[in-house]
Amino acid sequence: MTARPLALLFPAALAGCATLPQGSPPPSLDQLLSFTSPALCDPGPSLSEFLGHLTQGDANEGFKAGRVVAPPALSGVFGRVRIKKADGYWLTSVRTTGTWLGLPVVALHQDHPEGGDPGGFQIEFGAPLPVVERRLKAAGFPARANVEVELGEPDGYAHLMTLEAVAGRPGRSLLRCGYS
């Protein structure tokens, strides 16, 4: 399954809100959403740990919502972890009100295919596709709007990065790193 159908499902998977006191600037998520290699879309230790806590269970027995584990300075910027099953995948979502690379981030998502194949993670931005594409390229990500970019050497799965507009949500973009 390609990333496009998954990207269409994520906005529907979101509920719950992350809120900050009125007038507060959104906090930076740059340290939390770190990458060891932007060119390969490899999450750094802090992002890997964060994603690892969002779900509990496994692909054969099923998943349930985990919890947000983030530094105390980021308490209150994440909503509840939501999980649902859809078309052979478990979809996890958590809303946020932070920024990454200076771009507003509205949610983080994960997909876990049934059967244990590798899944992926997504960062949903509250910014238009051209703006997100330019910022990601400047940070070393080979993202191209509406193009599946193959990353690294083949290892039995296609390791992909996609960047696309979120259908039905003007001004929203979705970066996906994962496998197909």
Please give the pLDDT value at position 9. 44
Please give the pLDDT value at position 86. 84
Percentage, residues of the chain above pLDDT 70: 85
Unique residue bearing structure tokens 């330019």: 134
* Chain-centre distance for alpha carbon 58: 19
A 10 A CB-CB count for 63 gives 21
Q: Which of 14-23, 42-51, 126-135 has the lowest mean pLDDT?
A: 14-23
Beta-bridge mates of residue 110: 92, 121
**Residue 83 pLDDT class (50, 70, 90 cuts):** very high
Q: What is the mean pLDDT of residues 132-146?
A: 96
Please give the pLDDT value at position 7. 43
Q: What is the mean pLDDT of residues 138-163?
A: 88
CA distance 105 to 53: 19
**Residue 21 pLDDT class (50, 70, 90 cuts):** low
What pTM, to 2 d.p., does this model score? 0.85
In this structure, are residues 48 and 121 in contact, taking their beta carbons and an 8 Å threshold?
A: no
Mean model confidence pLDDT for the chain: 85
> Burial code of 101-110, b = ≥16 C-beta within 10 A, e = fewer?
bebbbbbbbb
